[in-house]
Amino acid sequence: IKTKLTETLQKKPIAPGDDVYEAEVKWCDDDDVEHYRDDCIANGYEGCVIRVKTAEYQFGSRPQTMMKAKRCEETECLCLDILVDKITKVIDGKEITYEYAKFKCRNDLNNEVFEVKPTSVYNGITDETMTSDYILGHRNQFIGKLLAIKFYERTDKKIPFNANAYGVRDYESND
């Protein structure tokens, strides 16, 4: 059912003294959601949360009836090293340890160093070279190269927050 975009301009705090506000919005399509998100960002917020009006809030999790809408940014950062996170899970009574690759990168705006998670799916396309198994077996294809990174905001130190690497910039290579 398509509805006309409407907004209540009157913001009301969710809790007394709270800096989180609730506004009733109805939208027709993604463009309307992006417009509302941009309005929220212009008013000093990171973005907005879109939810089914009747959905109950759940502490510590976000159900499928709620969606964060933030503006995605992209940049390129130098990969300094490959780090490994080891996670042990119990499956069918057996402990299994998985190794997950992370990139240690230098920020594009200053010399701050931060960690970036790889993502093998970007814009609906799967890239097998961005899986942990591939990265850990081919470290030399990443260290010293610029990684293409997507993120949603920067920290006070201008570091991409919750950054994901989706590829290696190698189009300038003479190899």
Q: What is the pLDDT of residues 58-84, one digit of tens each?
A: 777 777 777 788 888 999 999 999 999
Write out the DSSP string of 134-150. Answer: HHHH-GGGTTTSEEEEE
pLDDT in tens, 141-160: 999 999 999 998 888 899 99
What is the full DSSP assignment across 103-117?
A: EEEE-SSSS-EEEEE
Q: Please determine, for residue 1, whether its predicted confidence score (pLDDT) is greater than 50.
A: no
Distances (CA, A) of 46 to 87, 92, 161: 31, 41, 12
Residues 6+ positions from 110 with CB-CB distance below 8 Å: 157, 158
